[in-house]
């Protein structure tokens, strides 16, 4: 582990950034580091450029501290769970950056890069990094644990190893309320997220002898259901749950872009996402494109999947 303590000690002010279209890992990792560095006596700002931060994460300590704008000029920037600089939504070229992540596709844009592709969440990387050099507390552990269980879908992804359970156990040792986390993550869905899931499932299509599944979530469906961006997350996991399916693709028509979210069983789809300018993990990857015809996009993906010999 690199010596981040002396790096942090060189600064009075710290800016913590999480990625746009935020999920529980990026927000939990950011708020966990915030809680540690606040207690350490630093001036810390925690910033996310996105207007939509998932509401169900409001139980996390210091959730209300998340701001939209960066105010510190000469601060150390710590980025959380962001594979590339353009996912942060700010111009930070030339600034000193501590990049904490677990994406295989990470572009090493930081001055110091702590990127562990074998870690199950960015929060696991942060927890292991900070616990050896700083004093952790209950607030930080709650945020890191929430991020970990979210990114592993409660210890069910293939990134889960004995180490992940050991780390989870070490986090829980800070006396965190695991049932409160479970309730907030699993039982606070919005009605619109169920409505959009239902309409997506109704329109699912199978290709390649049932090994490939696709769903298109149109602008109209999003409008009808009232769904926000994070209501669309997790739909792809329903696709990959079908027995015959080896690759599931969801195309979401957003403002001016189509976002592709993919899951696989035992097939490395991160390379596929990289082909289209995106990134991700072995079994979970995605990208955004300005090819706005979702049907044509799915066709292109199927051709590429065959070309690459993934199916
Ligand atoms: Mn993550």
CATH number at residue 233: 3.10.310.30
Q: Are 205 and 166 in a shared domain? A: no
* Cα of 150 from ligand 1 centre, angstroms: 9
* Residue 38 pLDDT: 98
Six-digit token pair at 213?
Answer: 């599944």
Q: Are 131 and 148 in a shared domain? A: yes
* Cα of 22 from ligand 1 centre, angstroms: 10
Q: Are 133 and 49 in a shared domain? A: yes
Give mean pLDDT, residues 49-55.
93
Given 186, 210, 226, the domain boundary residue is: 186
* Residue 158 pLDDT: 86
Q: Are 148 and 114 in a shared domain? A: yes
Q: Are 195 and 302 in a shared domain? A: yes
Domain count for the chain: 2
* Cα of 194 from ligand 1 centre, angstroms: 23
> Which residues, 6+ apart, have CB-to-CB distance to 179 below 8 Å?
none
* Cα of 203 from ligand 1 centre, angstroms: 29
Given 156, 186, 216, the domain boundary residue is: 186
Q: Are 36 and 10 in a shared domain? A: yes
Q: Which domain holds residue 242?
A: 191-307
* Cα of 252 from ligand 1 centre, angstroms: 20
Q: Are 164 and 59 in a shared domain? A: yes
Q: How far is CA 100 from CA 8, 104, 130, 257, 293, in A?
A: 14, 12, 11, 27, 35
How many helices (DSSP H) and strands (DSSP E) are in the chain? 12, 11
* Cα of 64 from ligand 1 centre, angstroms: 21
Given 168, 186, 204, the domain boundary residue is: 186
* Residue 51 pLDDT: 87
Determine the 3-state secondary structure of 47 from DSSP. Answer: strand
* Cα of 298 from ligand 1 centre, angstroms: 25
Q: Are 11 and 125 in a shared domain? A: yes
* Cα of 125 from ligand 1 centre, angstroms: 10
* Cα of 160 from ligand 1 centre, angstroms: 13
Longest dimension (CA), the chain: 59
Provide the phi-psi class of 307: left if phi over 0, else alpha when psi is between -120 and 50, else beta.
Answer: alpha
* Cα of 209 from ligand 1 centre, angstroms: 32
* Cα of 78 from ligand 1 centre, angstroms: 15
Q: Are 76 and 172 in a shared domain? A: yes
* Cα of 123 from ligand 1 centre, angstroms: 8
**pLDDT per residue as tens digits for the range 185-227:** 999 999 999 999 999 999 999 999 999 999 999 999 999 999 9
Q: Are 224 and 80 in a shared domain? A: no
Q: Are 54 and 169 in a shared domain? A: yes
* Cα of 112 from ligand 1 centre, angstroms: 18
- The DSSP line for 133-191 is TS---HHHHHHHHHHHHHHTTTTTSTT--HHHHHHHHHHHTTT--HHHHHHHHHS---H
* Cα of 281 from ligand 1 centre, angstroms: 9
Average pLDDT, the chain: 96
Give mean pLDDT, residues 167-191.
97
CA distance 232 to 241: 16
* Residue 89 pLDDT: 97
Comparing CA positions, the residue from 284, 268, 274, 258 lying closest to residue 107 is 274
* Cα of 80 from ligand 1 centre, angstroms: 8
* Cα of 121 from ligand 1 centre, angstroms: 5
* Cα of 198 from ligand 1 centre, angstroms: 26
Q: Global pTM?
A: 0.91
Residue pair 304/298 in contact (Cβ under 8 Å)? The answer is: no
CATH of the domain at 150: 3.90.1640.10
Comparing CA positions, the residue from 81, 51, 66 lying closest to residue 15 is 66
Q: Are 205 and 181 in a shared domain? A: no
**pLDDT per residue as tens digits for the range 252-287:** 999 999 999 999 999 999 999 999 999 988 999 999
* Cα of 46 from ligand 1 centre, angstroms: 17
């Amino acid at each position: 582990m690199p010596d981040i303590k002396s790096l942090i000690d060189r600064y009075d002010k710290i800016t913590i950034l999480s990625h746009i279209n935020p999920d529980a890992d990026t927000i939990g990792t950011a708020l966990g580091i915030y809680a540690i560095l606040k207690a350490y006596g630093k001036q810390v700002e925690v910033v996310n450029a996105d207007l939509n931060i998932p509401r169900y994460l409001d139980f996390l300590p210091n959730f209300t501290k998340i701001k939209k704008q960066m105010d510190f000029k000469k601060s150390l920037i710590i980025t959380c769970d962001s594979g590339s600089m353009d996912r942060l939504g700010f111009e930070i070229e030339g600034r000193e950056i501590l990049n904490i992540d677990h994406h295989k596709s990470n572009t090493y844009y930081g001055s110091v890069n702590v990127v562990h592709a074998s870690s199950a969440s960015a929060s696991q990387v942060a927890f292991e990094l900070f616990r050896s050099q700083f004093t952790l507390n209950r607030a930080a552990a709650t945020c890191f644990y929430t991020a970990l269980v979210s990114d592993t879908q409660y210890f069910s992804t293939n990134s889960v190893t004995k180490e992940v359970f050991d780390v989870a156990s070490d986090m829980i040792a800070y006396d965190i309320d695991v049932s409160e986390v479970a309730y907030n993550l699993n039982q606070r869905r919005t009605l619109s997220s169920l409505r959009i899931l239902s309409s997506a499932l109704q329109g699912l299509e199978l290709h390649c002898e049932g090994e490939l599944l696709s769903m298109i979530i149109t602008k109209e469906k999003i409008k009808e259901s009232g769904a926000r961006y994070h209501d669309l997350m997790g739909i792809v996991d329903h696709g990959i749950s079908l027995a015959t399916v080896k690759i599931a693709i969801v195309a979401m028509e957003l403002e001016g872009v189509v976002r592709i979210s993919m899951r696989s069983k035992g097939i490395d789809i991160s390379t596929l996402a990289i082909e289209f300018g995106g990134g991700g993990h072995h079994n979970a990857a995605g990208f955004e494109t300005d090819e706005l015809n979702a049907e044509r996009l799915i066709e292109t993906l199927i051709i590429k999947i065959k070309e690459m010999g993934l199916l």
